[in-house]
Amino acid sequence: MTHINRLPNEILAMILVLAVTQGRPQANCASTTRGKMAPWLSVTHICSRWRDIALNRATLWSDLSFSNPAFTQAMLVRSLETPLSISIKFKAPPHRFLDVLKKALSHNHRLHSVDIQLSVHLTLQAVWEKCRSEAPNLKILSLSSLGDPKFMHHLPEGLLEGKCPSLEHLSLDGFRLLDWQTIPLAPALTHLCVKVNSDMYRHSWRPSPQPFLSCLVGMPLLRHLEVSGILPSLPYPSPVPPHTLNHLEVLRLSDSKTWIIKLLKVIRLPRLKSFWIRFNESSMDIDLFLTSLKTSWDLAQNGIQNLRLSTSIEHTRNRQSSHSNTLAVSFSRPDSTDPVTTDMVLIFSGGRNTSVEQLLRSFGLPPGLTPLHTLKLESHSPVSDSAWTEILSTLPYLRHITLGRALSQGFVDALKSPPNGTSAPFPALEELVFDRVDFDDGQVGASAGRIKRLIDALSSRREQIKALTVNRCLNFAKGDFDPVKTQLPGLKVSWDV
């Protein structure tokens, strides 16, 4: 084995570059302490040879570190003419790195990656004086203005002269947009994210439908698209031929249901793998949405294999905390052996007003929920008794059910086999999980009666389920656990005491 000191300088330099790349902090910040430089600089303190190689290897210094202004300046000098990578997050004044950052950004022809998060005290023009000039080698551009939404910065007109032939990744978050032409789109783009604040910017400019679609078609390599608060609101031309996004794999939309549905009617998504949507409304015409979705995305025409409905509390920059309902589904792929993954996520703002029954009935239309085998209901919104008996209890392949929040009496009643010998409900059910369920559900002392009815329902089944899990539940004690074990001897019960 060759001793490391016998390696040629070029090979050793490549090893040092790898070591530095792995040892550098993941994100630079204008408030980073000097102490974070030490691991990065360690390769220059091994011996004089290593130091000479490191100091003369320009690529070793091209990913600028904003730990100390003088050190950043030294890196800029040592990087010579190699492509620059810049990542910085500005906080409140004083801005110690402003001068050296402006100097680095003046090298437009060298820029490879630029990631800047602005504060309310700094505009993009103040930081990047040449932002209206071409950056021919720029591959990654991420700009965000995430301060007070009342003081959002305008995205400069003529950003990069609209010329960025090498740009592959573009992310713009929190800017006021005056024109779609302000956005420096390029044919090489594979990742595009444009987000505006939909509450503070509700009556802002929105792109016209035809230019918007033309821009999408003009990015033939696009694989990831995220658009928030800026979908076209005017009617699309009629008739409009469908626009096929042949390479798009990830689509994330956040806007009004009306604008989302209109877009789905005029695009085709043959290779889409992941679809994430946030609706501004809590209730909506889900049938109309599903019709448009199936027209746009072939996979959505399949039945649903996994379904999870949950409630979460959201904290946003410009509104108080609010509940939202999240529906996550995996579509059936009968001929696939790949692991099951989430294909689509729908988020409904103001989740307490979302009708769970409406969602289940809409998704239940054939083939709908027929292939469903895993169901997780962890929402604050209740599932009606009729939804349990008419929709869910008849599903032929439903094997796993997880219930959170509360034990629904409608579910217990639907679980019980009828005495007249008719077909049993939930015929394929094998596993039942209660996760963070309050068995009292607001009524002190009610848990004993609810657990007894659950035992009776399970005992009545000709085909007993195989496993019952009680996890992180309230008002479930040893006095409840023992009857379950005694009266259901064939049931494997797990309880996190």
Q: Is the peptide bond before 239 cis (omega within 30 degrees of 0)?
A: yes
Question: What is the C-alpha to C-alpha distance for residues 296 and 301, in angstroms, rounded to an integer?
Answer: 10
Instruction: Give the pLDDT confidence score for residue 419 in this predicted structure.
Output: 76
Q: Kindly indicate the confidence band of residue 350, based on its pLDDT and cuts at 50, 70 and 90.
A: low
| pLDDT tens, residue by residue, 375-393 | 999 887 788 888 999 999 9
Tokens matching residue 160: 């990069």
Phi, psi of 405 (to 5 degrees): 75, -65
Q: For residue 422, give every residue at least 6 positions away whose Cβ sits within 8 Å of its Cβ, in sequence order, or none.
A: none
Q: How many CB atoms lie within 10 A of CB 238?
A: 6
Do residues 109 and 51 lie in contact, with contact meaning Cβ atoms separated by under 8 Å?
A: no
Closest by alpha carbon to 434, among 468, 392, 485, 411? 468
Domain count, the chain: 1
Structural domain contains residue 232: no
Q: Kindly indicate the confidence band of residue 26, based on its pLDDT and cuts at 50, 70 and 90.
A: very low
Structural domain contains residue 316: no
Torsion of Cα atoms, 470 then 471 then 472 then 475, to 10°: 0
Structural domain contains residue 299: no
Question: Mean pLDDT of all residues in the chain?
Answer: 85
Domain boundaries, position 13 = 1-62
Looking at 9-165, list the stretches that DSSP marks H as alpha helix, in order from N- to C-terminal side.
9-23, 38-41, 48-55, 69-78, 98-105, 124-127
Instruction: Give the pLDDT confidence score for residue 201 in this predicted structure.
Output: 47
Question: Higher pLDDT residue, 418 or 42?
Answer: 418
Phi, psi of 205 (to 5 degrees): -60, 140
Question: Higher pLDDT residue, 462 or 50?
Answer: 50
Q: Does the pLDDT of residue 476 top 80, yes or no?
A: yes
What type of residue sits at position 343? D
Instruction: Give the pLDDT confidence score for residue 222 in this predicted structure.
Output: 97
Lowest mean pLDDT among 49-63, 179-193, 476-490: 49-63
Q: For residue 31, give the DSSP letter.
A: T
Tokens matching residue 20: 């530095």
Structural domain contains residue 51: yes
Radius of gyration over alpha carbons of the chain, in Å? 29
Structural domain contains residue 49: yes
> Residue 99: helix, strand or coil by DSSP?
helix
Instruction: Give the pLDDT confidence score for residue 353 in this predicted structure.
Output: 59
Structural domain contains residue 305: no
Query: Per residue, what are the HEC states of 386-446?
Result: HHHHHHHCCCCCCCEEEEEECCCHHHHHHHCCCCCCCCCCCCCCCEEEEEEEECCCCCCCC
Structural domain contains residue 215: no
Instruction: Give the pLDDT confidence score for residue 344 in this predicted structure.
Output: 96
Q: Does the pLDDT of residue 39 top 70, yes or no?
A: no
Q: Does the pLDDT of residue 143 top 50, yes or no?
A: yes
Q: For residue 275, give every residue at least 6 positions away whose Cβ sits within 8 Å of its Cβ, in sequence order, or none.
A: 251, 252, 269, 297, 343, 344, 345
| pLDDT tens, residue by residue, 121-139 | 888 999 999 999 999 999 9
Structural domain contains residue 36: yes
Q: Kindly indicate the confidence band of residue 308, based on its pLDDT and cuts at 50, 70 and 90.
A: very high
Q: For residue 63, give the DSSP letter.
A: B
Q: How many CB atoms lie within 10 A of CB 260?
A: 21
pLDDT (mean) for 208-234: 90
Phi, psi of 427 (to 5 degrees): -65, -25
| pLDDT tens, residue by residue, 231-276 | 998 888 877 788 999 999 999 999 999 999 999 999 999 999 999 9
Q: What is the value of pTM for the model shown?
A: 0.88
Tokens matching residue 440: 């009292």
Question: What is the C-alpha to C-alpha distance for residues 160 and 405, in angstroms, rounded to an integer?
Answer: 52
